Amino acid sequence: MALTLFDTDEYRPPVWKSYLYQLQQEAPHPRRITCTCELTSLVRRATLKENEQIPKYEKIHNFKVHTFRGPHWCEYCANFMWGLIAQGVKCADCGLNVHKQCSKMVPNDCKPDLKHVKKVYSCDLTTLVKAHTTKRPMVVDMCIREIESRGLNSEGLYRVSGFSDLIEDVKMAFDRDGEKADISVNMYEDINIITGALKLYFRDLPIPLITYDAYPKFIESAKIMDPDEQLETLHEALKLLPPAHCETLRYLMAHLKRVTLHEKENLMNAENLGIVFGPTLMRSPELDAMAALNDIRYQRLVVELLIKNEDILF
């Protein structure tokens, strides 16, 4: 069966419905708009308009056992917290104080505060975007803008490594200054420093961009031989990602697709980028080293498929 474009109402933006209905009536086989068809400019504009809206990302609280100084009351049940030590738990991201038993009933409505979220690298992705009220981590946006402004023709882009000490400098600049970090050509002339900093950001994520929960479905898609079924499974795998992860992955794949358009100059096609970004974006939840090693070729293939079919899958 051919893969249909946004085959469920859940994934079809309302602004597309009347237009897609018109296409389906004109097509020889209704509802069989195949993967190979090109999106029209109208649909592309609708996509951009839809994606400009900042989605509401749900986030669970990051509770840790805490010893409170002085009297404290639970912010969920309003009862007193008894004891001298470890009276309750405190959310490390938003500062919410509750009893340990109450923490199991608190809704997933954590609103991270910048006074608690003090770093960019090694910070949970959803926590970071909620703290800064953005769609994607600012480090991803800023690095990609810098790379596209002066590095798309650089030979071996993303494959060539930058000087590790300078990459660490960029990391510290983001952790210290956030969106005010200076990564311009005046500070870092070598574009490989910026690509290295972007790759390091994804490697340092406590939960990978392609999450542990979604990982098996992505690997499953890479093992399927039939192209249509493969894309259907990959589309299903994308639904398993948290919104912040899916949006960041969409933005990154659109960027990597633009990198491949300069293949004659930078020598980086989708396969080469898959080799670089496969292990960077995906980490096996399996502790078995051999099982993780066997997955490397499928990780590469997943990223390659995402790049080649970016305009269809996202």
pLDDT (tens digit per residue) in 154-187: 999 999 999 999 999 999 999 999 999 999 999 9
Higher pLDDT residue, 32 or 108? 108
Six token digits for residue 69: 């100084």
For residues 97 and 225, state if they share a domain: no
Which pairs with CB-CB distance under 8 Å and at least 24 residues apart come from 279-283?
A: 280/199, 280/202, 280/203, 281/202, 281/208, 281/209, 281/210, 281/249, 281/252, 282/208, 282/209, 282/210, 282/215, 282/218, 283/208, 283/212, 283/215
For residues 169 and 286, state if they share a domain: yes
Measured between alpha carbons, how far is 136 from 131 in angstroms, rounded to an integer? 11
What pLDDT shows up at residue 137? 96
8 located within any domain: no
The tens digit of pLDDT for each residue in 200-214 reads 999 999 999 999 999
22 located within any domain: no
35 located within any domain: no
Q: What pLDDT band is residue 36 in, cutting at 50, 70 and 90? A: very low
CATH number, position 215: 1.10.555.10
For residues 173 and 275, state if they share a domain: yes
- The dihedral built from the CA positions of residue 31, 34, 38 and 39, taken in this order, carries a sign that is positive
CB 95 within 8 A of CB 117: no
**Residue 285 three-state SS:** coil
For residues 144 and 292, state if they share a domain: yes
For residues 145 and 279, state if they share a domain: yes
Six token digits for residue 235: 């589309």
Q: What is the mean pLDDT of the chain?
A: 84
Q: How far is CA 71 from the centre of its chain?
A: 41
For residues 86 and 185, state if they share a domain: no
For residues 177 and 267, state if they share a domain: yes
For residues 159 and 298, state if they share a domain: yes
**Residue 302 three-state SS:** helix
256 located within any domain: yes
| Residue carrying structure tokens 């237009």 | 19
| Residue 108 CB neighbour total at 10 angstroms | 8
Domain holding 70, by residue range, is: 58-116
Its pTM stands at 0.72
For residues 106 and 170, state if they share a domain: no
Please provide residue 282's backbone torsions phi and psi, each rounded to the nearest 5 degrees: -130, 135
CB 66 within 8 A of CB 46: no
Q: What pLDDT band is residue 35 in, cutting at 50, 70 and 90? A: very low
Measured between alpha carbons, how far is 189 from 183 in angstroms, rounded to an integer? 9
For residues 183 and 292, state if they share a domain: yes
What pLDDT shows up at residue 260? 98
Judge whether residue 102 has pLDDT over 70: yes
Number of domains observed in the structure of the chain? 2
Q: What pLDDT band is residue 57 in, cutting at 50, 70 and 90? A: low
292 located within any domain: yes
Judge whether residue 11 has pLDDT over 80: no
| Residue 21 CB neighbour total at 10 angstroms | 11
Q: To the nearest 5 percent, what fractions of the chain are helix, strand and coil?
A: 50, 5, 45
Residue among 183, 181, 200, 187 nearest 148 (CA) = 183
The tens digit of pLDDT for each residue in 238-290 reads 999 999 999 999 999 999 999 999 999 999 999 999 999 999 999 988 777 78
What pLDDT shows up at residue 56? 55
Mean pLDDT of 227-236: 94
Give the Å distances, CA to CA, from 147 to 21, 63, 222, 294. 39, 37, 29, 32
121 located within any domain: no
Residue among 19, 47, 48 nearest 33 (CA) = 19
296 located within any domain: yes
CB 100 within 8 A of CB 88: yes
For residues 164 and 264, state if they share a domain: yes
CA angle 250, 281, 134 (to 5 degrees): 45
Judge whether residue 2 has pLDDT over 50: no
Q: What is the dihedral of CA 74, 77, 81, 87, to 10 degrees?
A: -70
CATH number, position 99: 3.30.60.20
Judge whether residue 8 has pLDDT over 80: no
46 located within any domain: no
Q: What pLDDT band is residue 112 in, cutting at 50, 70 and 90? A: confident
| Residue carrying structure tokens 């990459």 | 167
For residues 252 and 154, state if they share a domain: yes
